[in-house]
Structure 1
Amino acid sequence: MTVKPVILVVDDEIANIEIVSAALDDDYEISFALSGNQALEIAHAAGPDLILLDVLMPGLNGYEVCRLFKRDAALSDVPVIFTTSLDATEAEVLGLSAGAIDYVTKPFQPSALRRRVGNHIEMKRMRDQLAGLAMQDHLTGLGNRRMLEQRLQGEMRQSGRDGSDLTLILMDIDHFKRFNDTYGHLEGDRCLQRVAAVLGSHVNRGRDVGARYGGEEFACILPDTCHAGGMTVAEAIRADVEAMAIPHAGSPVSPVVTVSLGVTTGTFLPGMTADMWISKADQMLYRSKETGRNRVTGEGAALAPPPGRR
């Protein structure tokens, strides 16, 4: 079943919302808000693909709301079309300066509204497709470092909002340089792909993230995951990689390819940074290597913001 794009309609007049809904609800899922403050709440919950935003509303006006959308990392890429009965030139100039991509005038012409919305939804789909390619590691199909760091920032904020645990796993293929030296880079690439497939099979919830961090390094972001749960996932990845029994004659650890993993878990507090999370997981990974490799080392609730930043 095809999922319809979501349109958020923000207008303090119910009649206008009903007109827009009648014009668009065959092709789109419609959410609505009656004020600027309500729009900010509903936008986070609904995850709209496009926002139709009234200019003149009590409280926050449309221009102010649009600026707030554009400052919000979770909403900044969502296209905003202003709806207005103001002078077209004035509305266009102010709207574009606030971050909108288009405007439509009231009273609405349903066919023109459908055409404008359809064009911008299609352009957003194409932008999202290109952005997705820019965030992907082409060899393994996992996310790349850029995507990992971006998603980690978002999940840290979510952890701060709801007080949930956030687990990060870093993973290294043991003695991978010796593998390449022994079997060649083509076999090295195949090895990376097979290890990535194992990792991907364990990163299977909606917000979980698996990424190739660089070279033979991989990472997982596990939102809403306690430390014991993160350790369980890491151990399952370690065991499944070993069970593939990919020959590794150059390894002093094992005759087959193995991985070492570091796990850290915490709840975001003001003052924390993504680098702190990554650094702590990297310390745990280093301990796994230092104590013999082919193992998981972790530490829970070990993150703390700088002094005075609580």
Structure 2
Amino acid sequence: MTTKPVVLIVDDEILNIEIASAALEDGYEISFALSGHQALEVAQAAGPDLILLDVMMPGLNGYDLCRLLKQDPALSDVPVIFTTSLQTPEAELLGLSAGAIDYVTKPFQPGALRQRVGNHVQMKRMRDQLAGLAMQDHLTGLGNRRLLEQRLQQELRQTGRDGGNLALILLDIDHFKQFNDLYGHPEGDRCLQRVADVLDRHMRRGRDLAARYGGEEFACILNGPDLAGGMAVAESIRAGVEALAIPHAGSRVAGSVTISLGVAAGRPARGALSERWLRDADLMLYRSKNAGRNRVTGSSSAL
């Protein structure tokens, strides 16, 4: 089933919202807000594909709201079309300089409005697809290091603001260089893909993320579990990889492929830095390796 794009209509006049909704409702999910401050809350909750934004509103006007939207990393890529009865070149220039992608004058022409909205939504979806490819590891299908670092900082910011726990797992395939030397890089690639599949099966919450961090190293972001919960997921991943029973005659740990894991978990403080969490998880991974590999070590110090 194809999900309809979401359009957020922001206007302090109900009649204008009804007219725009009538023109767009067949092809889009419609959200609306009656003020700039309400629009910020709705946009953060709805994650719109496009925003139709009235310029002249009491309190937070359209220009100032657009600037705030463009400063929010989660909303900065959402195209904004200004809607206004102002028809001067100066007004249009001011709107475009605030970050809008287009400018529509009132009263609306339904056909023209549908066409403009459709064009910009299609372009946004194409940009999103390209951005997704840039954030994906092509061998395993997981996220890549760039996505992992970006999402970790976002999750720390949101969890630090809203409360709750976060767990970060770093893991490494034991003696993977020897595996490649013995079996060749094509078999090494297949090994990476099978380990990635185990990780992917353990990402059970909507915001959980598994990524290839580099080479034979992977990472997972888990929303919700404390240290004990994060350690339990990490142990399940470890056992899952061991259960694959991929032969590894060059391992000094076992006769099959194993992994070592480090976990940093806890309740992030406001302003928590991703570098600190990565450093703590990496230290736990180092301790797992130093203690003999094929094990999980964790810390709740990354707060």
Instruction: Give the shorter-chain TM-score range.
Output: over 0.9
1:248 and 1:88 map into 2 onto residues whose CA distance is: 72
CA displacement, residues 10-31 of structure 1 (integer Å, 9 cap, x when unaligned)? 0000000000111111111111
1:94 and 1:236 map into 2 onto residues whose CA distance is: 55
Q: CA RMSD in A?
A: 0.9
1:295 and 1:268 map into 2 onto residues whose CA distance is: 25
Q: Helix, strand or coil for the counterpart of 2:65?
A: helix
CA displacement, residues 248-294 of structure 1 (integer Å, 9 cap, x when unaligned)? 00011000000000111122223421100100110111111010100
Q: Which residue of 1 aligns with 2:108?
A: 108
How many aligned positions are there? 303
Tell me by how many angstroms 1:148 deviates. 0.4
Tell me by how many angstroms 1:69 deviates. 0.2
2:172 and 2:88 map into 1 onto residues whose CA distance is: 58
Matched AA of 2:230 = G
Q: Which residue of 2 aligns with 1:211?
A: 211
Q: Which residue of 2 aligns with 1:180?
A: 180
Task: Report 1:78-97 matches (<5 A).
Answer: 78-97=78-97
Matched AA of 2:242 = E
Matched, 1:237 2:237: yes
Q: Which residue of 2 aligns with 1:303?
A: 302
| Structure 1 contact 260–296 (Cα < 8 Å) conserved | yes
Residues 1-10 or 109-118, more deviating: 1-10
| Structure 1 contact 169–281 (Cα < 8 Å) conserved | yes
Q: Helix, strand or coil for the counterpart of 1:297?
A: strand
Q: Helix, strand or coil for the counterpart of 1:213?
A: strand
Q: Which residue of 2 aligns with 1:163?
A: 163
Q: Helix, strand or coil for the counterpart of 1:245?
A: coil
Q: Which residue of 1 aligns with 2:259?
A: 259
Q: Helix, strand or coil for the counterpart of 1:104?
A: strand
CA displacement, residues 125-169 of structure 1 (integer Å, 9 cap, x when unaligned)? 100000000000000000000000111111111101211101100
1:114 and 1:170 map into 2 onto residues whose CA distance is: 47
Identity %: 74
Runs ≥4 in structure 1, deviation > 2 angstroms?
Answer: none
Q: Helix, strand or coil for the counterpart of 2:242?
A: helix
Q: Which residue of 2 aligns with 1:307?
A: none
Give the gaps of 5 or more residues in structure 1. 305-310
Instruction: State TM-score, norm by structure 2.
Output: 0.98
| Structure 1 contact 248–257 (Cα < 8 Å) conserved | yes
Matched AA of 2:41 = E
| Structure 1 contact 8–51 (Cα < 8 Å) conserved | yes
| Structure 1 contact 84–91 (Cα < 8 Å) conserved | no
Q: Which residue of 1 aligns with 2:154?
A: 154
